[in-house]
Amino acid sequence: MDRIERSHGSGGVATSQLIESIFREAFSNEFLNGLTDAAVLPGAKRLAYTTDSYVVRPIFFRGGDIGRLAVCGTVNDLLTSGAKPAYITAGYILEEGLATDDLRKVAASMADAAFEAGVYIVTGDTKVVEPADPKAPGLMINTSGIGFLSDTTHVDPSRIQTGDAVIVSGSLGDHHAAILSERMNIQNDICSDAAPLGDMVEKLFDSGLHIHAMRDVTRGGLATILYELAHSANVHIYIEEKDLPISQDVAGFAGLLGLDPLYMGNEGKMVFLLPGEEAERAVDLIRHSRYGENAAIIGCVKAESSGTVVHTAIGGTRVLAPLVGEGLPRIC
Amino acid sequence: MKLSDAAEYLRTYNGRELRLMEVCGTHTAGIRQNGIPSMLSEKIHLVTGPGCPVCVTVTQYIDRLTELSQDDRNVIVTFGDLLRVPGSSISLEQARSRGADIRYVYSPMDVLRLADEDKDHDYIFAAVGFETTAPVYAALLAEAEEKKIYNLRLLTSLKTMPEAIQRVSDGIDGFLAPGHVAVITGTGDYRELAQKLGIPFVISGFEGEELIAALYALVLLAEKGDAVCLNMYTRAVSDQGNEKAREAVDRFFTGGDAAWRGLGVIPGSGLYLREEYGKYDQGSRDITQDKEPAGCRCSDVITGRLTSLDCPLYGKTCTPEHPVGACMVSAEGSCFNTYRNMNISEQK
């Protein structure tokens, strides 16, 4: 079984063998191992529930792969509601011809990420389809996730208040730049930042800080996320350009291609809004948590009408619009 | 002189009203990204000129590419920005969704690999650009010659700046000269233009500080009526420019008349493949018409007659998601940049 074949999606013996040899092998846990059609899980009164599909190309890239992404993305989405992520499902659309070793690597990477995030992969599904590009068969993954919330946890953009500080947990644009570098065959040291962010969120909650809202910085970049937060809470968010954490490599890469790091996506960065007087303590806690060493206070919330304004490094101001179309590089 | 002094001068300037034009798409983006319009006195008006290669490409060119894409033997290869520019009936993106083989690349050199790996198709590259991009196309052709790749052709829309600057210079008090173009061409063209038009030119870099310093110099020169060209991007631009790049361009290309969106045909403002390399040309000289889609006012925006905000379509029927004209599509276009990075006072 070197490559994925149609029969692996048939629902017959080959499918069972694939599931046994790859997925149960990688994800083995008490909820999954029965391989029932639906996993039966102990629950709680309040659940957070989310789903996301992953179609990234290439499927392996510096700093991660599609499997790590599929776990981290769903875990981080759960975290933004204030939930503690608990269970993940995984649906695979495999393209015929995919190397079985590649699938095994993806599954191992998902198992690692799930272990780190403290979640169980409890049920799943596998289908096989014709490859879009027969020379490079790949796979797509859908994950959904369930997390638990205490009765007293309320994290929601509507709770954002004037005087809140805006904190970002680390450097912007890394994942976007890493993927684009792979696609364009550009040699550099930029790695995807795909990571589960439970550690920093837990530290903030455990210390009794009052997080009003959280968002993970993904497609559309920080600009789009702040725009959405500002509009849903009807506040003005002010950002200091000089305080934005952006690595030199990403800044150089973005400059070369005419991209704006504010519109470049991450897969392991969180934005927090919480009372201004708690900001210093929060940023200190994040910096001492996993994946948070470059956290920074980047702005604050002011009243006025909704929108996001950037104070540029040279003293100008500009209003940020959300990302429209795809962020394509300039051509001269 | 400190940067803050230059910025303060620009903020409090109270001399005669000045209209200053930038003619490089990277300057347009840099000015907006740094929030420079918010830093200037009301007497200083920044006007965007024809410096975005996608924006000055005529609709006939898009239509020609769409037409070529209908032939199953052809694969159209282009930069991403061109995909969404509306043609007279459909854009390349729409043609692609209807089954045409249209790909986008980040570097023109990628098309060599594509063509080399698939000899059953003809690869047609949409070669748009200015003096800055022409050397890359020359390098592409040199390598195609060397590797004997003959299933590659260019539909060129290559333009040169000085002639267009003259065409739009009415009512302009000074130009930020295009930094990247000058890296190749040197400063001579702009010294001549300054003298001929009787207004100052400043060759500027692209960082916020460089743009502020260049605008400060440009305002001082314009106020004094000093019609000179000042090179403030000396770390990249020399008087003689890049002779090697020009020689490479000269090997494959020769001058000719070119159709500019909004400006019509400007004599001597284009570059075309030389006759001896005609086998690589996809009939580029046939692109001669400048006719915009119904209602589009890009021509007025490109020539500085209309600011993006004054265009009646801006933000209403024409947005980055549903563009009517090229200025709203390109990452270097005036409207796209205004839309994305508005000045607070411009917010409606």
Residue B344 lies in a domain: no
- Asked if residue B265 belongs to a domain, the reply is yes
Q: pTM here?
A: 0.83
Judge if B15 and B112 occupy the same domain: no
CB neighbours of residue B285 within 10 Å: 13
Please tell me which residue, B136 or B344, carries the higher pLDDT value: B136
* pLDDT value at A128 more than 60: yes
- Domain A6-149: assigned CATH number: 3.30.1330.10
Q: What is the pLDDT of residue A183?
A: 84
Does A124 have pLDDT greater than 60?
Answer: yes
* B78 to chain A: closest CA residue: A331
Both B45 and B175 in a single domain?
yes
CATH number at residue B152: 3.40.50.11740
**pLDDT for the residue numbered B301:** 85
| pLDDT for residue B347 is more than 60 | no
Rounded to an integer, what distance in angstroms lies between the CA atom of residue A158 and that of residue A229?
A: 9
- Assess whether B119 and B16 both reside in one domain: no
Mean pLDDT of chain A: 91
Query: What pLDDT sits at residue A332?
Result: 41
Q: Which domain holds residue B245?
A: 59-160+241-286
- The pLDDT of residue B316: 87
How many separate domains does chain B show? 2
Q: Where in B101-162 does DSSP place strands (E)?
A: 102-104, 122-129, 152-159
pLDDT at A328: 45
Question: The domain that contains B185 carries what CATH number?
Answer: 3.40.50.11750
Residues A41 and A121: their CA atoms lie apart, in Å, by 12
Angstroms from A197 CA to nearest CA on chain B: 30
**Residue B250 maps to a domain:** yes
Q: Look at residue B331 and tell me if it is in a domain.
A: no
B79 and B220 together in one domain? no
* Whether residues B179 and B144 fall in one domain: no
Does the residue B208 lie in any domain? yes
Chain A nearest C-alpha distance from B54 (Å)? 9
Of A42 and A223, the structure prediction assigns the larger pLDDT to: A223
Determine, yes or no, domain membership for B312. no
pLDDT of res. A331: 47
Q: Write out the H or E segment, with its range, that includes residue A149.
A: strand A139-149
Give residue B346's pLDDT band: very low, low, confident or very high (50, 70, 90): low
Q: What is the pLDDT of residue B343?
A: 62
Cβ of A329 within 8 Å of Cβ of B33? The answer is no
Among B92-106, B138-152, B197-211, B236-250, which stretch is predicted with the lowest mean pLDDT?
B92-106
Chain B residue with Cα closest to A312: B34
Q: How confident is the model at residue A321 (pLDDT cuts 50, 70, 90)?
A: confident
CA dist., res. A145 & res. A88, Å (int):
4
Q: What is the pLDDT of residues B246-297, one digit of tens each?
A: 999 999 999 999 999 888 899 999 999 999 999 999 999 999 998 877 778 8
A157-319 topology per CATH = Phosphoribosyl-aminoimidazole Synthetase; Chain A, domain 2 (3.90.650)
Residue-wise DSSP of A237-284: EEEEGGG----HHHHHHHHHHT--GGG---SS-EEEEEEGGGHHHHHH
Distance from CA of A118 to the nearest CA of B (A): 40
Q: Are residues B134 and B151 in the same domain?
A: yes
Q: Span A283-294, mean pLDDT?
A: 98
What is the separation of C-alpha A277 from the centre of its chain, rounded to a whole number of angstroms?
A: 28
Task: Kindly state whether residues B155 and B167 are assigned to the same domain.
Answer: no
pLDDT band at A258 (very low <50, low <70, confident <90, very high): confident
Query: B74 and B221: one domain?
Result: no
Nearest to B331 among A258, A310, A314 (CB): A258
> Which residue ranges make up each domain of chain A?
6-149, 157-319
Does residue A247 carry a pLDDT above 90?
yes
Indicate whether B348 pLDDT > 50: no
Residues of chain A whose C-beta is under 8 A from some C-beta in B? Answer: 183-184, 257-258, 260, 307, 309-321, 324-326, 328-332
Please give the average per-residue pLDDT across B200-223, as a whole number.
Answer: 96
